[in-house]
Structure 1
Amino acid sequence: MSQHLPHVTTAFPRRAVVTGAAGFIGSHLAHTLAQAGTVVIGVDRRNPAVDHTAAANLAPLHGLPGYVHITADLLNCAIDPLLIDADVVFHLAGVPGVRPSWGPQFGEYVASNILATQRVMEAATRIGVPRLVVASSSSVYGPTSGGASVETDQPRPASPYAVTKLAEEQLCLAHATQAHCSTSVVALRYFTVYGPRQRPDMFTHRVLRAALTGQPLRLYGDGHQRRDFTYIDDAVSATIAAATTPNARDVINVGGGSSASLLEVIGIARSLVGREIEVHQENPRSGDVLTTRANPGRAHEVLGWQPQVDLHSGMRSHMQALTAEPAVYGRAA
């Protein structure tokens, strides 16, 4: 568990549905909501009885009153009963990752990120859920000039994954424009969220694991790529604010304000662990962009949100989680 208390809004929804609840962001969000007294319906197609990662992510929710977990696939399950009486749907379910989206797995991205989203949004409209918050990604911006991305910038997705995330957010927003739709939509473009329970293939996890174990780190490209790193607690607080702020609409960037190169992240990991990291440099991966950086103005203006956790502090908490549960978090990517 993180040692940082989320800097969240004072308002919490009474009843919420979290899709992708067994995932990285979803499990943290569900835990924060349930701790605050929200009745949370968590939905995920991964069965924690047989999926070790799902079980580990959901472990902090065990015993929390008001949390109900349902193993179901949004592509074919009955969604309407899940949404009855909900104040908000947090739609975080989907297939992540840039590299696997090239090739034969693309159909899975379309099915989970677009077709399942269509079913969720149709159900939310039928039930009349007041608010839907959908997880988008900074990857929709694609290559930039290096400056901060503003929500009004023209998206230029550079991978099949990014194409599906752009389609997902725009699909929800299109539904919200219909006269008969009473569901307002906020699409959050997350910028490189990291922290405890992060996916093992993500860079922050991989570099900390390399520092802790002494195993070599695969670095794709020269390491000068820059990312706007967002600590998980900050991402959760922005997500809750997106659900409870009355005038929140449309697309909002969620960036942690910790712009750093991958080489700088390696340096922080080295300083935290006190061990040199053996780096194996490889060719850049298709779809990776040189820089992601969020203009945070809209999040601050509309949601009253700003990040609280700097990269060094966040990586320290992430490292402590890896150290505490190596059997769960120490697997190779």
Structure 2
Amino acid sequence: MKHISILALHDATINSIDSSYQMLSRVNDFLRYQGKQAFYTVEIVGLENSVKLGRGLYRVTVDKTIHHVAKTDVAIIPLLCGDFAKALQSNEGYADWLIRQYNMGAELVTLCVGSFFLASTGLLNGRSCAVHWAAKNEFESLFPQVSLIEDRIITDEAGIYTCAGGYSYLNLLLYVIEKHLGREISILASKMFEIDIDRKSQNPFRIFMGQKRHEDKEILSAQDFIERNPTELLNIEEICTMVSLGRRTFERRFKKCTGNSVAAYIQRVKVEFAKKQLESTTDTINEIVYNVGYDNIDAFRKVFKKYTDLTPLDYRRRYYTAPY
């Protein structure tokens, strides 16, 4: 038996709390159908008896306050919404309890951007963490001591689980169920809740947004130029001349500000442009590849797959919608 504490964090999303409660409770039903004992005791716990969620849109009545939970086996940290800085401040009261539970052996299951709260406790320092691609830049600026994993959906390290964006937390819950009860029960939960199992990467969903939270005017100008010219064959020396910087200085500052080399940034802008064309036009893949400045189809296919985990053809099959 494992005791599950789903934290009713202030400004958490109601769906992440309820989904966790429903899935883990339903697993108990699956076990009973097989003539086995229930495995989970699932409770929603909070700082107060009643907690506002989702920017005040909802209110949940908890089963217990954290002061009445001396020990738990698994603490689930739900998604947060709204202003992260405000959410972290309003949930400070959970930190000591969560650290104490982890030090007593509890597993910590962090759903998507709930990782902002977990990171604020220091428990992720020096450890890996997955986070939604759209929250990457903000997370890195707030918690530089955390090792951010960009490609995988799930991380599992020292009893701490994290997951990347949105509803991928359902995959994390399946993953945890498998660790506790085995593959058979996880597959059964996948089928009953109709969740694709073993989804490992968020790359097919990622939208490239260049890091622009810096004040280097020359680099911002270069980024803007690259993004406005996705179909051009760009020359790095010409960009250096345009922003009046030597190549070594330019490349060093560009990498520091954006986290990408100039060449990688150009590639990612071209891939993003190609994705839009694959989603919305009937142009052939060869035409799209030539339009973004590549004359070698195989070379572009490798670049495209590097950033999306899909070939251009697979991407079109997944996302193209024919006009009515």
Task: Tell whether the structures are fold-level matches, with TM greater than 0.5.
Answer: no
TM-score class, shorter: 0.3 to 0.5
> Taking CA–CA contacts closer than 8 Å with sequence separation of 6 or more, which of the two structures ends up with the larger relative contact order?
1
TM-score, with structure 1 as normaliser: 0.35
Q: Which is higher, the Rg of structure 1 or of structure 2?
A: 2
TM-score, with structure 2 as normaliser: 0.36
